[in-house]
Structure 1
Amino acid sequence: MAIVLYHGAANGPSLAVLAALAESGVAVERRPIDLLAGERHDLPGVDEPLARDMGIEGEGPVLLVDGEAMTESVFLAQFFDELSDVSSLQPADPFAHWEMMMWCRQITERLSPAAALLGNLAFSRGRLAAMADADFGAMADRIVSADLRARWEVLRDGAVDPAQVEDSRAKVSQAVERCEGKLADGREWLMGALTIADFETFAWLAGMEQIVPEAFADKPLTAAWLSRVRARPSVTAALADAGGDSTRFWAPGPEINRWG
């Protein structure tokens, strides 16, 4: 089985997958790509591109397995975990496993679109706005999903609804509140034991500390948890590989939830 992981800088979904991969000990060829240059849409050897082209995560990592493009960071983390002989990032108890998956779904449906919007506005818009129209058009033409292509265009044009920005900031604050509440019983990790939920949540929240600092004020449990995740060798290695502040690297993410 030929496996290649294409990933962006260690932030958002790429960080979650890189951390899970390192924890798993699975041997995979890693190929960094520039997500903000649209390189994800022109990968070699993709025979089955549907998940890459129509996935809801946006510009996340792509795992290429014998020509099949696999996407969505939680699913990729599960894939590596289930291949692993050395670690387990998923609870064996059925209820605990359901709880972890529900937590991850709330993160991917509520926090990740909000964080992606705020991160891209802070750090990505300038680069896209500086692109020549022809260059941006050629890149956008390779994006199969009309929804995703529209998010690229809105980001470049700066035609963002201010109400979405405020709602996104509120959702970051809500995610931090949920973490603080989850950690209130003295547990080290969100689900008790270390799971995929810790890496998925950290990957989207870590970059928000500098963008929505008020969300983290007076949240000592969440601050300590962020430090613990950041200190995991798997995360430390991914961040070191990125070079510089990887929380400043963003690319268009999931579509904003229209239903609140």
Structure 2
Amino acid sequence: MTGILYHGQPNGPSFTVLAAALEKGVDLDRRPIDLVAGDRHAAALPHPIEVDQSIEGEGPVLIVGDVAMTDSIFLACYLDEVGTGPAIRPVDPYARWQMMAWCRYVIERVAPAAAALGNAATPPPSVPAGIASADLAARWTQAVDHKVDEAQLADSRAKIVQAVEKLETQLADGRDWLMGDFSIADLETHAWLAGMRAIVPDAFTAAPLTDAWEARLRARPAVVKALGLATVPEPEAIWAPGPEINRWG
């Protein structure tokens, strides 16, 4: 397979896709872009509705032929299909449902909270031109203007604490990986929680199973390579506006 991957630093959704491609042995033409500067909205990138209206916010874009795709979970699933390395999705239908349900929890609860906290900690400098999504443009403006809703941030911190508690519960039976075998769920969970250790440290003070899980994940060769693509000392501290926080809580 040949394809072009426009990606940011190995944090958030860019980490998931970079690590998935390396796990699966997919040789992509990797083209780093500055998501914080708004490079994803530049004219050089394709802008189908799936990219411009992506609910993920500022994530990577994969181009295969004349098709542009986005959203890290779906890109990882695609890479699992086309790659030659060991599967990163369960084969059993129920186990696969469990993995996707876990990933949806991360997408809808953890990712918006992490993005909100990350952007509050390190606001982007300016709103880029060319943003097609009104919702995403509003999140950019809010982040740049540092309009912080303290109640929303408190709720976001609570969601990070809950996510780590969920991890501890999932790992309590002695398994190494969230779904038993290593999967996309491990990549996506790490993608959004890695940068939260500095922002919500209390969530990790009594999480030995999470600590051990993260150490195992960071030791995987594909993850080592993905993190090695960083061009800054602390890629987990680089944030651009992400998914919208669910209005229903």
Corresponding residue of 2:53? 54
Asked if structure 2 preserves the Cα contact closer than 8 Å seen for 1:11 and 1:247, the reply is yes
Within 1, Cα distance between the matches of 2:21 and 2:117? Answer: 27
Q: Secondary structure of 1:229's match? A: helix
Counterpart check, 1:239 vs 2:238: no
* Residue identity in the other structure for 1:168: S
Within 2, Cα distance between the matches of 1:145 and 1:121? Answer: 21
Q: Displacement, 1:43? A: 5.0
Q: Which of the pair is proportionally richer in helix?
A: 1
Corresponding residue of 1:154? 142
Distance 1:45 1:118, change over 3 A: closer
Q: Displacement, 1:115? A: 0.3
Corresponding residue of 2:82? 83
Asked if structure 1 preserves the Cα contact closer than 8 Å seen for 2:21 and 2:83, the reply is no
Counterpart check, 1:175 vs 2:174: no
Q: Which of 217, 224, 236 is residue 205 of structure 2 equivalent to?
A: 217
Distance 1:82 1:26, change over 3 A: same
Greater shift, 51-60 or 82-91, is seen at 82-91
Alignment of 1:28-47 (within 5 A): 28-44=28-44, 46=46
Alignment of 1:96-135 (within 5 A): 96-123=95-122, 125=123, 127-128=124-125, 131=126
Counterpart check, 1:145 vs 2:133: yes
- The alignment covers a number of residue pairs equal to 248
Q: Secondary structure of 1:189's match? A: coil
* Residue identity in the other structure for 1:204: W
1:55-104: CA deviation from partner (whole Å, max 9, x where unpaired): 10000000112232201100000111100122200000000000000000
Greater shift, 83-92 or 14-23, is seen at 83-92
Q: Secondary structure of 1:210's match? A: helix
Q: Secondary structure of 2:153's match? A: helix
Asked if structure 2 preserves the Cα contact closer than 8 Å seen for 1:50 and 1:69, the reply is no
* Residue identity in the other structure for 1:66: G
Counterpart check, 1:206 vs 2:194: yes
Instruction: Name the % identity.
Output: 56
Corresponding residue of 2:248? 259
Unaligned runs of 5+ in 2: none
TM (norm. structure 2) is 0.96
Q: Displacement, 1:159? A: 1.4
Corresponding residue of 1:7? 7
Within 2, Cα distance between the matches of 1:43 and 1:224? Answer: 43
Alignment of 1:190-205 (within 5 A): 190-205=178-193
* Residue identity in the other structure for 1:245: E
Unaligned runs of 5+ in 1: none
Distance 1:54 1:45, change over 3 A: closer
